[in-house]
Structure 1
């Protein structure tokens, strides 16, 4: 009589978890780039926060697309279409942040730098879902 004791292998983390971790790390580099450029444009040059946000976010989007295409979603096909979709998703982030500027900076007088920094986690979560389901599907 043989007795076998089977131990269930430890399940690997779901693919989405790994993607989310990479997306967040890459997003961190884009956020840092976005925030530094925003601070420079808005604080040093006196550029309007809406325009500074659009420019700084565009740089962050381009950075994140290149890195996510390669490392997070490992997709190198249809790069132009994917970039356009990724950028469209990025525009949702610009729009959301601009709405937050209108509500909190213009409406309540909260410093634009704080609003920009506070918007980043919300924008990151929204964009991950949209990019995973549409840009890199």
Structure 2
């Protein structure tokens, strides 16, 4: 199933680079929509488990982040990158990118006060930066 592709398909006579760019933008849009959806599921599960259990929020965060990442891997493999081979290798690389993204985001949030940037502003900056890093890695390495 290919969605978000109809308005971004290459027309006859376009260069190979233009076609590649349009395909990459379409993948980035799908990747972003899936990522945002999985982040909302992560947040919803986190809020639920914090309210009904006595577990540490950090432990709950690790659990719900894992669930969100697993769902993101499956849906991106299927709908964004249309892959169903070498799934263990791809999942390992996808989770590696997720841990790197979480680490980068945490580092930037930790550095925010020293840089004189508000935490919410830095969170937005980190989300944009991490999206670029993770999409690039997953597009060219994990599913490339």
- On whether the aligned pair clears a TM of 0.5, the verdict is yes
**5+ unaligned residues in a row in structure 2: which ranges?**
1-10
User: Which of residues 56, 76, 95 in structure 2 aligns to 1:47?
Assistant: 56
8 Å CA contact 1:38–1:52 kept in 2: the answer is yes
- Partners in 2 of 1:116 and 1:81 — Cα distance? 32
Shift of 1:55: 2.6
Aligned to 1:124: 131
The residue number in structure 1 matching 2:105 is 97
Q: TM-score, normalised by structure 2?
A: 0.67
Following the alignment from structure 1 to structure 2, what is the Cα–Cα distance between the partners of residues 66 and 46? 27
Give the equivalent residue in structure 2 for 1:14.
22
Aligned CA-pair RMSD: 3.5
Ranked by relative contact order (alpha carbons within 8 Å, sequence separation 6 or more), the top structure is 1
TM-superposed CA distance for 1:132, in Å, is 0.6
Distance 1:37-1:97 versus aligned 2 partners, 3 A rule: farther
Indicate if the aligned counterparts of 1:22 and 1:72 stay in contact, CA closer than 8 A: yes
Give a deviation string over 1:56-78, Cα, whole Å, max 9, x none: 32121101110011111001000
Which one is further off, 123-132 or 81-90?
A: 123-132
**Measured at CA, do residues 61 and 32 of structure 1 come closer, stay the same or move farther in structure 2, by a change above 3 Å?**
same
User: Which secondary structure state, in structure 2, belongs to the residue aligned with residue 76 of structure 1?
Assistant: coil
Match of 2:81 in 1: 73
Residue 38 of structure 1 deviates from its aligned partner by 3.8
TM-score, normalised by the number of residues in structure 1: 0.70
Greater gyration radius? 1
Retained in 2: the 8 A contact 1:54–1:94?
A: no
Match of 1:3 in 2: none
